[in-house]
Structures are given as C-alpha cells and as structure tokens.
Amino acid sequence: MHACTFKNESCCSKSCCSILSRRYRIKYQLAEIDEVKESFSQEYQELLHLVRRSIGPLEKVIGAKMPDVEVMYITMLIGSWMTRQGESIEKKVKAIVVCPQGVSVSRLMFQELSGLFPEFIFLDSLSMREFYEYHLSYDIVFSQTKLETEKPLYVTKTFLGREERQRLKQQVMQDLHGYSPNEINLDYVIDIVRNYTKIEDEKGLKKELGYYLFQNQQQVAAIDRGDEKVSLRELIRPGHISLRHSAPSWEDALRLAAEPLVRGGVVEERYVEALVRNPVRDPYIIIAPGLAIPHAAPEEGAREVGMSLLRLQKPVAFTAEEDVQLMIVIAAVDKQQHIRALRQLFKLAASEKDRKRLIEANTVAEIYDMIEMYSSD
C-alpha cells in the first residue's frame, strides 16, 4: 500500500497505479502501439512537436525512449488542460529562428530571442536547409540573413545590444499588434544614475528599483534570475588561463586547455576525454579566426559551470584549413547559467583587434584585463 495525501484515496490509488503501470510499459517496451490518426496530428501538430522537444528529462527518469503513442497521450492531456483553461497555441504567435552558423550559435540566438519575446512560442532553431523543408505552421521568422518567405521576416544578429533589443521589440510589436511597448528599461535607468553619482551596489540598486517600478511579478522574477547569470570574468579567472608556446596536436591542446577545470573539480577527466575522442570535429566550435570553444554535453562529466582559456604562440592545426591559437573550453550544467558569459565571449571574438591582443599578450594579467573589459554588460 502507498500513502495518499488526497481525500479520495481510491481515486488517488487508481491514478498512481496508472502512472506506475504506464512507466513500466514504457521502460520494458510493452506500450500498445495504436494507429496514429491523421486528425490528431493535424490538430495538435505544433503542440506534439513541443512535447517531443521537452520529453528528454522524462525519458531519462524512465530510462527508456518514449514511444510515439505515449508522447501523443501526454500531448492530449496537455491539450485538454489548455482547452479547459481557455488557452490555445493557435492564439499565440509562433516563431522560428534561422541561423546558418551551427548548433552552438543557433541555440544562443534562440535563447536570446526567446527571452526578448517571452509571449511568443518559439518552435525551432533551424539551418537554412531545414527552413526550406520545414512543415510546421509558424507566423514569423527571425534570421541572420535574408530568406525567401511570405511570412514576416526580421533579420537580426546573434547578439543584440540594449538599443538593438529595444528597436527590434518595438518593430515586431508594432507590425504584429499595432503598438510599441512602453517598457521601463532598468539598464538605462542605472546608466542615468551612474552619470550623476557613484553606485556602491549596482545589483542591489537594480533589484530595489525593479521592486518599486514593476507591478508584474514575472518582470521582478526576471531581475532575480538575471543576478544568477555569471559574467565572463567570473568563469575565466586568472587560474583558468594558460599560456603555452605550442602543442603537438589538437588533442594535446584540448588537454592543456581543460587542465585547470579538471584540477579545480569543475569537470571530471571523462569530460576531457569526451572532447578528445570526438571523431568528427565540429567546424562550428570555431567562432572566429583562430578561436575555438570546444565543449561537451553536461552528462559527459560537467560538475559546475566554468571556462578555461589556452593561448598558444604557435597555432595548432584544427583541420587542414583551420588553425587555432585561442582555445576556450566550456563546461555547462544547464542552458542558463553560462549564457551571459557566452554572450560576452562572442562579443570579444567579434573584435579582430582584441583577438589579436589576446594572442600577443605576454602575461595572464594582460589576458584577464581583456576578459574584464567584456564582462560589464
């Protein structure tokens, strides 16, 4: 027997047993495979897609891949709940993101836009080839480059500055809804205050202003979450920076670059081996000439969020066409904590002048000074 906190113990028992039974069937592949009705897939195809994208953690708990019939069962439950709440995907703006720069940059761009437009449903981040083959219904497209599409298209960068974010938000809302949002931008308020006085505790001031100015609890929560995101200087500390003349091979360079993370317990040794044994070198880890950001999945042995930097005076061959002198190993335990630091890193990588200064630096202190320069926003 199992304990029940509900008044209707009989009902609870049936529900719990049903869940346990369903988990058992899935784990041992005993789920009944019913024919999927076309009407279901047409009516709920976007919701079904979102459920499939989100099912990973549940599959990890169960220890088996979720059969299609079970995914559809969950989709029906969610769809039924949304109907009772008066919610519908059809009523919301559905957006897709097109990014030709590979998985890492694509995910970051997806994250950036999702945060800027939390009221939209972002279905996918796609390559250009995937975009032209895409079959789901969507309303608008965000892309790094111009595309042939009948839908509203907004060409934007991977990383947006404060003014760029505000302009894009105003343009999109004006086009879709006929109004421009009149939002209070706390960063602008802080800049104004900074012009007239010395700020002793910027985080505290920002939080107090947010509590006073915002009535929306989601906006207040966003301020609190923002405090949790670490900057580049907090991840690439002086002890995580290594200067070497050269490395015999790409694999040796990886081990050298990751050594501070292993030594500090940020990653396990197997995380480094996961980087080394990758048989296909992902070209998208080269984010700028001579600069690579190798990384593996969190489950490969990442214990904490962290970064380490290796500077080589003599380039090491990544491929026959690509050489690397700056290698920044990234360890992430989720999709959130390192986003701010990664955004700052991409801004640094975009500056040819400052990349050259990193490569030509003679001391760890010089490199850390550069890191600090890009860690303020």
SS3 assignment for 111-174: HHHHHHCCCCEEEEEECHHHHHCCCCCCCEEEECCCCCCCCCEEECCCCCCHHHHHHHHHHHHH
Specify the range with the lowest mean pLDDT, choosing from 108-112, 155-159, 226-230, 302-306: 226-230
Per residue in 259-289, pLDDT (tens digit) is: 999 999 999 999 999 888 864 455 568 888 8
Whether 338 sits among the annotated catalytic residues: the reply is no
Backbone angles phi, psi at 197, to 5 degrees: -160, 165
Regarding predicted confidence, which is higher, 49 or 126? 126
Would you say residue 43 has pLDDT above 60? no
Specify the range with the lowest mean pLDDT, choosing from 201-215, 255-269, 283-297: 201-215
Mean pLDDT of 292-304: 89
Residue 301 makes CB contacts below 8 A (sequence gap 6+) with 267, 268, 269, 270, 271, 274
Taking the C-alpha atoms of residue 251 and residue 278, their distance in angstroms, rounded to an integer, is 10
Rounded to the nearest 5 degrees, what angle is found at the Cα of 316, between the Cα atoms of 367 and 109?
Answer: 65
Per residue in 126-174, pLDDT (tens digit) is: 888 889 989 888 999 999 888 999 999 999 887 776 677 778 888 898 8
Rounded to the nearest 5 degrees, what angle is found at the Cα of 38, between the Cα atoms of 37 and 44?
Answer: 95
User: What's the pLDDT score for residue 15?
Assistant: 44
- Taking alpha carbons only, the member of 290, 342, 276, 326 closest to residue 107 is 342
Taking the C-alpha atoms of residue 211 and residue 191, their distance in angstroms, rounded to an integer, is 18
Would you say residue 14 has pLDDT above 50? no
Determine which helix (DSSP H) or strand (DSSP E) holds 326, and give its type and residue range: strand 323-331
Catalytic-labelled residue, pool 135, 177, 240, 295: 295
Would you say residue 244 has pLDDT above 90? yes
Angle formed by the axes of helices 364-373 and 352-360, to 10°? 160
Mean pLDDT of 61-81: 78
Would you say residue 313 has pLDDT above 70? yes
Instruction: Look at the pTM and tell me if it is higher than 0.75.
Output: no
